[in-house]
Amino acid sequence: MGPFSVVESNVTIGDDSSIGNNTTVKAGTTIGKNTHIFHNCSIGEIPQDLKFGGEETTTSIGDYVTIRESVTINRGTSARGCTEIGNNVLLMACTHVAHDCVLGHNVIMANLTTLGGHVELGNWVSLGGGVLVHQFSKVGDHVFIGGGFRIVQDVPPFILGAGEPLQYSGINQIGLRRRGFNGNARKLIKETYKLYFRSGLNRKEALEKIKTDLEQTDEITSIINFIESSDRGII
């Protein structure tokens, strides 16, 4: 632990983890192994939520996480009880993870990216610099969002998002290829989103056509389930 850092009681830190200078880790925080927190960070502080009543809540950070300079992570509220960050996550400088957020594994948040409360990021999500995410929004697995854009509705899996307002900009071909999705899987994902976003059908009709006309692989099922469970609507 570096100079002028404070770790309160009731904090658990795994093996081979480190904390830099001028960082505060608040009570109720669990940090996994091989996790490295750099300087001037605030981890597990109370939420920036006027409804917060001082209830005991927690912050959970996984293994092999890198948290760069001046990152802030707030603990949960009574609504969920915990803010959770998965394994192999990279939070670049000056990012903010608000109360009750859930981040999956292998997430990257570039500099100055900000999450509102209750945001959910799936596995392998990558958010470019300065991205702003509205509270309660959900981002599906393997999504890439370009820098400087806003997320105010849910973003379904496997796609690229860009523009103002944010819109579908193709599938995440490079990311999917790197992670072992074969050509047939990528083609089927692309066909699914061509129907959903670019066929001219209304979205209910497009979803029914996806169910009846396309092979129901695991990837297509996950897209359908994500869309049907969306509370904020799809971009």
Q: Which residues are catalytic?
A: 99-100, 117
Contact indicator for 204, 226 with CB cutoff of 8 Å: no
Environment class of residue 228 by beta-carbon count within 10 Å: exposed (0-12), middle (13-18) or buried (19+)?
exposed
Amino acid present at 222: S
Closest listed residue to residue 160, CA positions, set 118, 190, 199, 129: 190
DSSP-derived secondary structure letter, 97 = E
Structure-token match 């292998």, residue found: 106
First to last CA, the chain: 43
Q: 79: left (phi > 0), else alpha (psi -120 to 50), else beta?
A: alpha
DSSP-derived secondary structure letter, 200 = S
Provide φ and ψ at 198, rounded to 5°. -130, 10
Contact indicator for 28, 47 with CB cutoff of 8 Å: no
